[in-house]
Structure 1
Amino acid sequence: MHTDSAAEPRLAGGPATGLVAALDIGGTKIAGALVDDTGRIRVRVQRPTPAREDGETVMRTVEDVLAGLAASPLWPGAGAVGIGSAGPVDAFRGTVSPVNVPGWRGFPLVERVHRATGGRPVTLVGDGVAMTAAEHWLGAARGHDNALCLVVSTGVGGGLVLDGRVHPGPTGNAGHLGHISVDLDGEPCACGGRGCVERLASGPHIARRALENGWRPGPDGDTSAAAVAAAARAGDPVALDSFDRAARALAAGIAATATLVEVDIAVIGGGVAGAGEILFGPLRRHLATYATLSFVRGLTAVPARTGTDAGLLGAAAAARTPRA
């Protein structure tokens, strides 16, 4: 949502000049930055998210991050604010309802940030769309007119680039591949669906599947997806199978999306992507079996390049885009 326009947000066109303020809001941290027109982060502030507190306490943390940015002598040059938030978001109404921040349900974040920043225009996107904007501006999707970008972590989010423009959709959730069903008889998902990509490919579910099938953690007791990836690198067959199943679910969702809208590249970031070839090897193999039509056969899957700054850079890209 843009605070000075009722039109649907569109992340299109080249970036404007000057600095923008960016916020990356998740269940673990609330980060802020002042970002210049080359994508360089000039000032950075970060606080832990009080995710289990009430909504006003969470908002006070956002205001504290903004105050940290405002303390910089560069702050007067920041003409707009971009927010990338865990979702669901409603970019048209400017509200957020992050699953992992229960104190925020329909919270009017855009209006509150607009007031807290002295009336600066504010643009809101979901975290998957923010990552997509970052990768299209500065990362692996740069130069691609049609791309799918994914965040594979605690959940599975995503966003689309179509005809050279990031396409957030009316509410900012377009490209949310995590809740495409790829197993019609699969397990129920938290979203209410069944057999969703997220249920098969997110970090917690990779670890859950490995544990259910006999994998056991090392002496440190680490049961994360990263620990499963380490076991897979060491040749553990159960760990390898768990990543193979996740890669197959991702491949099915990516191929379905490519068939629908003709993307030619899938860019994958997030913690699970840190597994490297343990994930990307079987992913490419399974893509070859799902993306079989002539117009999607050249589809490639590559790691994201913007790393942990993707949320901030994508929020900055959203703010820098001329308003519709």
Structure 2
Amino acid sequence: MSLEFAIAVDLGGTKVEAALVDPSGVVLAGSRFRAPTGPERSADELADSVNEVLRGVLTALPSGATLLGAGVGSAGPVNEAEGRVSPLNLEAWRQYPLRDLVVAALPSMPVTLRMDGICIALAEHWVGAGRGYDNVMGMIVSTGIGGGLVLHGNTVSGPTGNAGHIGHVEVAGFDDPCLCGGIGCVEAIASGPKTVAWANRQGWTGSTGEELGASYRAGDPIARAAVERSGRAIGQAIASATALVDLELVAIGGGFSLVTPDLFDHIRTAIATRWQFEFVTKVKVVPTGLSSDGPLIGAAALIHRANVVG
């Protein structure tokens, strides 16, 4: 029996990665390649990074193996029908034809593109913390905040492909301006860089989420207030999302979700304020059940789990 793989591509605000993933959701050792992205890069430089990781992953394909297709998860917004992307933190790409770029690098191969949040939700539902649940939101709390939905066992992407974009849900009690044009979007409050920036404005002198976590553990009052503030905002957003679509479980990953386990306590505390609505407070909020391979596993699920991709 020949080996079968999907090529998984994950495009974010700081890097693009690609890897080979098998039908059980395992990333093939030695097949993961990374190249930088970032807001300072031109459109051509971003395209070069995508092509670089695709060339790398092709060199890692075992002899005799079969490629089933390529799944691409991208920071949003996206235009699913046309395969175009406009990542908020990559200014050089607005309505950029990312799917066409990947098709050109992988001729005669099916390519499916979705927002990265949908890929995260797919991965959690497939092999992560969402196994056994059919109404799941996957979230990433990192440089930005993203999310995606699996409802009744199938992904929900909406008419443009951007359903589940929870990072740009506004939450009450905050006035932080967001790059999208909104005020009080949870991404503008609770992402890693925005939490650090808020702490800096209060007088904290560190510069990274890792340093903020160390200060939190040391009992620094500003760091503790910053993490509580972020957790409260995330919890309010999750409570609103649950009120809207009746979620069973939310699985949260991403670098800043690791700042302290207490972040999850603050999230749950904010949700618990909706005590009159048991269907809201029932939602389980848990850390991701996946490693850092989660976004790639989710992108591969666009191919391996195509039957549940809406």
Question: Quick one: structure 1 residues 290 and 59, their matched pair in 2 at CA, closer, same or farther if it must change by over 3 Å?
Answer: same
**Structure-2 separation of matches of 1:161 and 1:248:** 24
Counterpart of 1:305 in structure 2 is: 289
Question: Quick one: structure 1 residues 36 and 237, their matched pair in 2 at CA, closer, same or farther if it must change by over 3 Å?
Answer: same
Q: Is the 8 A contact 1:225 1:272 kept in 2?
A: yes
Counterpart of 2:265 in structure 1 is: 281
**Structure-2 separation of matches of 1:293 and 1:208:** 34
Question: Quick one: structure 1 residues 205 and 163, their matched pair in 2 at CA, closer, same or farther if it must change by over 3 Å?
Answer: same
**Structure-2 separation of matches of 1:189 and 1:63:** 31
Question: Quick one: structure 1 residues 72 and 230, their matched pair in 2 at CA, closer, same or farther if it must change by over 3 Å?
Answer: closer
**Residue 51 of structure 1: how far off its partner (Å):** 5.2
Question: Which structure 2 residues correspond to residues 189-208 of structure 1 after superposition, within 5 A?
Answer: 189-208=178-197
Q: State the Cα deviation string for residues 271-307 of structure 1 (Å, max 9, x = none).
A: 1111232311222222211364022222111001223
Counterpart of 1:137 in structure 2 is: 126
Identity %: 41
Determine helix, strand or coil for the equivalent of 2:32. strand
Counterpart of 2:235 in structure 1 is: 251
**Structure-2 separation of matches of 1:103 and 1:176:** 21
Q: How many residues align?
A: 303
Which runs of 5 or more residues in structure 1 are unaligned?
A: 1-16, 218-222
Q: Is the 8 A contact 2:103 2:109 kept in 1?
A: yes
Counterpart of 2:298 in structure 1 is: 314
Counterpart of 2:113 in structure 1 is: 124
Counterpart of 2:221 in structure 1 is: 237
2:32 pairs with 1:48: no
2:231 aligned partner, one-letter code:
A
Q: State the Cα deviation string for residues 164-199 of structure 1 (Å, max 9, x = none).
A: 112122222111111111126623221111111112
Counterpart of 1:153 in structure 2 is: 142
2:188 pairs with 1:179: no
2:18 pairs with 1:32: yes
2:47 aligned partner, one-letter code:
M
Question: Quick one: structure 1 residues 185 and 65, their matched pair in 2 at CA, closer, same or farther if it must change by over 3 Å?
Answer: closer
TM-score by length of 2: 0.91
**Residue 112 of structure 1: how far off its partner (Å):** 2.1
Question: Quick one: structure 1 residues 280 and 177, their matched pair in 2 at CA, closer, same or farther if it must change by over 3 Å?
Answer: same
2:20 aligned partner, one-letter code:
L
The answer to which structure, 1 or 2, has the higher relative contact order (CA under 8 A, 6+ apart) is 1
Which runs of 5 or more residues in structure 2 are unaligned?
A: none
**Structure-2 separation of matches of 1:291 and 1:74:** 54
**Structure-1 separation of matches of 2:40 and 2:259:** 30
Q: State the Cα deviation string for residues 237-294 of structure 1 (Å, max 9, x = none).
A: 1111111111111111101110111001111111111123231122222221136402
